[in-house]
A and B are shown apart, each in its own frame.
Chain A
Amino acid sequence: MPLHPKGEHLMDRSEVEQRVKKVVCRVLKVDEELVEPSSHFVFDLGAESTQSVELVAAFEEEFGIELEDDAALAVQTVGGAVDFIAKHLE
């Protein structure tokens, strides 16, 4: 497994995706089979407005990162979140 400069292991995209999905299921309380990369947080998964903020906080905690609020809240789909976080981890 490749190592991050700080010594942590670097996640590949599929791992990011799995962990994003897990967070989404937990925060939005939806079944895992509903969560696809194309799933829209609101239209497909029923996220309420307050849950968007919760999702960003949960991603930050899950990945040990800090996200810029406005940019993070602008992400609308699961796939978008995966890309956004993966890019951040790079």
Chain B
Amino acid sequence: MTTTAPERVPTKAPHSLDALFSPRSVAVVGVTATPGTVPYDIFHNLLHAGFRGPVYPVAPGKRAISNVPAYRYLIDIDQPVDLAVIVFPADVVDRALEHCARKGVRAVVVISAGFREVGPEGQQREDRLKRLACAHGIALVGPNCLGVINTDPAVRLNASFARKMPHAGRIAFLSQSGALCTAVLDYAREKQIGFSKFVSFGNKAGVAESDLLEYLHHDEETDVILLYLEDLRDVRRLVAAAQRVTHEPPVKPILAIKAGRTPQGADAAASHTGSLAAEDDLCDAAFREAGILRVDSIDELFNTAILYAYQPLPAGDRLGIVTNAGGPGVMATDAAVREGLRVPRLAEETQANLRGVLPATAAVKNPVDVIGDARADRYEAALRQVLADPNVDQALVILTPQSMTDIEAIAQAVCRVHEAARDGRPAADLPRVAPKPVACSFMGATDVAEGIRVLQQAHIPHYILPEWACRAMAGVQAIRRMFEEPPDVARRLPVDDMAVRSVLDAAPAGYLAEHEALEVLEAYGLPVVPWRLCTTADEAVGWAEASGYPVTLRVVSRQVVHKSEIGAVALDLTTSEAVRVAFDALRDRVAAARPDAHIDGLLVRRMIPAGYELILGAKRDPIFGPVVMFGLGGIYVELFRDVVFALAPLGPRTARNMVRRAKAGRLVEGFRGGPRADIAGIEECLVRVGQLVSDFERLVELDINPLLASPAERGNAVADVRIRVA
């Protein structure tokens, strides 16, 4: 790794999951004598993967399994057992776990299915396992999982029903789906991808992804962690654990697939924030905060992981391309730019050197086209020059199989240059440079197969399509940026939380009255223009005279939520007479339209000048906790859906990134000659809303829509607010 990555400090303290990954002895509980069944295969796999310690089969009624003496019960084993793998049917797993507790087993993997995934009865069974494991301090993996693999040559544990032990490698794979694991193992084997640890954690009744991340953070065999998740439960714990992995030495990237991206059942909430806060968006927000790089497919997961795991971290985003075909070179350039990489012109000196080693028809600027008849010598010379170029941080070698192309020899040439480049010296006669990653795309299938094999054996990442290579490189750039940016810290701003508490304590469940909502926002320092709740026209006129015109009037009643629909709002009142007339008219209109409504009074306040209409929202989500939303406001919020989310509380940098990510952010910067709004003020509003929703559990939904954003001299102002309390 280059100096851009924070230092990787080897540390290894005893961990509660040591017994899971590096047990001294293993018992398989519930082994049967029938090959082809999960209980038999797990025992078989443990034996044949070459586990370094004793393996005990617990197989009631059997004398031996595969010539290994069997035990009727776990507690009959006269030696200590660190790890037990339970393969009994669901209804007796609890009894087996009780035996584990009596025996002092420290880690248990429950392979068996038939728990929470099958309904209430299964949930009860699972709860019982959870209680037992918790009471006895057992690290419980599963139930309903494939098992655990540790390829460390000192351990060689295959406590799973995956038939083949994967190759050893620097990638850890954690999956909630067991079936996916078998597919991934097969996929990885074909691509010569190795694993350090491989864990299927199933229903996560005990050990969850957060625990595994904590363990792998300090696992010396692991450089990168891949995660497949189906449901999120303790999001805040996951975020905290992931932040430590991605930001505290030894830092490691986490790449994750979170299945279930399609919007479903965003609860039929009345507020904009409630209806817009789809789980997938909140998941994005949580992963962003955690430093987890979210990807969409298994291909992308591994494409990025192997580039990070096998190659040095590039110092920047500049890509040099060497190709023997013009078309794929252009495609690669397009893809690189689309993914946010740069394809710079090579240095003059490099171009001159290339002209010396390539035919006159070759292109030497970048992409470097070595021409269709190029053989290994030309590729080697070109790649050395490109990697030595000061304008290049990484290289992509593209090959199409043409009649002159000696594919295997070119692959070997790439390996030679790569090895030299890894040491910072791609060519003996060129100056030393920082180590630079190399990736290849040998396009095709059968003709290029042998060349690909040579590359894979040398751990040079290979991608069938140059576009995939570019995407993987962009993924590594995202990792680099994530490493370089420390987690944002939410510092408390001074607020009057007692004032909010007194409003909320007096409020029934449901929407706060408008004046109450305004009091809450004022107490948290949000820009609320002066207002007063008046019960008589005289009072309203008096306030308006003292404060200045124009003013607005709004009827305040818990029963009247949509004010403008029944004419409960009057705008731009410029005289005392206008205020008086409007006051009586509004009151009468509401009394006629909603005779049941109790009118608290009429809210008179200074008219807010027009500005950019933004929405600032907050929601307390059952899984993600308090979250904040920002986007384009007004009545078309749901139509344009220009909203972004962050977990609350949030720090100033997160607020800044929220504004930048939304299209509304470009608008307030002054789009097409428009004035630039007080962006720092908007960001501060987001921090304050985050603090508010974090501080009060009863506050479940909040919409400021619109916040009217204006240039700093005029400032931003809350035009309308709705707050729902539980």
Binding site for B on A (CB under 8 A): 28-31, 34, 40, 42-46, 48-49, 76
Name B89's closest neighbour in chain A (CB-CB). Answer: A42
Cα distance A45–B62 when bound, in Å?
Answer: 8
Chain A: minimal CB distance from B77 (Å): 16
Name B99's closest neighbour in chain A (CB-CB). Answer: A43
B432 at the interface (CB under 8 A from A): no
B583 at the interface (CB under 8 A from A): no
Cα distance A43–B60 when bound, in Å?
Answer: 7
| Residues in chain A near residue B62, CB distance under 8 A | 46
Q: Are A46 and B91 within 8 A (Cβ)?
A: no
Main secondary structure of the interface of A (DSSP, over half): loop
Q: Are B88 and A43 within 8 A (Cβ)?
A: yes
Q: Are A46 and B89 within 8 A (Cβ)?
A: no
Chain A: minimal CB distance from B312 (Å): 52
Q: Are A34 and B61 within 8 A (Cβ)?
A: yes
Chain A: minimal CB distance from B65 (Å): 10
B262 at the interface (CB under 8 A from A): no
Known contacts A34-B72, A48-B34; decide if A42 and B61 are in contact (CB<8 Å): no
Binding site for A on B (CB under 8 A): 30, 32, 34, 37, 39, 59-62, 72, 88-89, 91-92, 95-96
Q: Are A46 and B61 within 8 A (Cβ)?
A: yes
Q: Are A45 and B60 within 8 A (Cβ)?
A: yes
| Residues in chain A near residue B60, CB distance under 8 A | 30, 34, 42-46
| Residues in chain A near residue B61, CB distance under 8 A | 28-31, 34, 44-46
Within the complex, which residue of B32, B37, B96 is in contact with A46, where a contact is CB–CB below 8 Å? B32
Chain A: minimal CB distance from B35 (Å): 12
Q: For the A-B complex with A45-B60, A46-B60, A48-B39 known, give 13 more contacts whose Cβ atoms are closer than 8 Å.
A: A29-B61, A31-B61, A34-B60, A42-B88, A42-B92, A43-B96, A44-B61, A45-B61, A46-B30, A46-B59, A46-B62, A48-B37, A76-B91
Chain A: minimal CB distance from B381 (Å): 65
Interface hub of B30, B60, B88 (most chain A Cβ within 10 A): B60
Cα distance A8–B30 when bound, in Å?
Answer: 41
Q: Are A43 and B34 within 8 A (Cβ)?
A: no
Cα distance A30–B59 when bound, in Å?
Answer: 11
Cα distance A40–B88 when bound, in Å?
Answer: 12
Cα distance A49–B39 when bound, in Å?
Answer: 11
Name B58's closest neighbour in chain A (CB-CB). Answer: A46
Name A48's closest neighbour in chain B (CB-CB). Answer: B32
Chain B: minimal CB distance from A26 (Å): 12
Chain A: minimal CB distance from B37 (Å): 7
Chain A: minimal CB distance from B198 (Å): 27
Cα distance A28–B60 when bound, in Å?
Answer: 10
| Residues in chain B near residue A45, CB distance under 8 A | 60-61
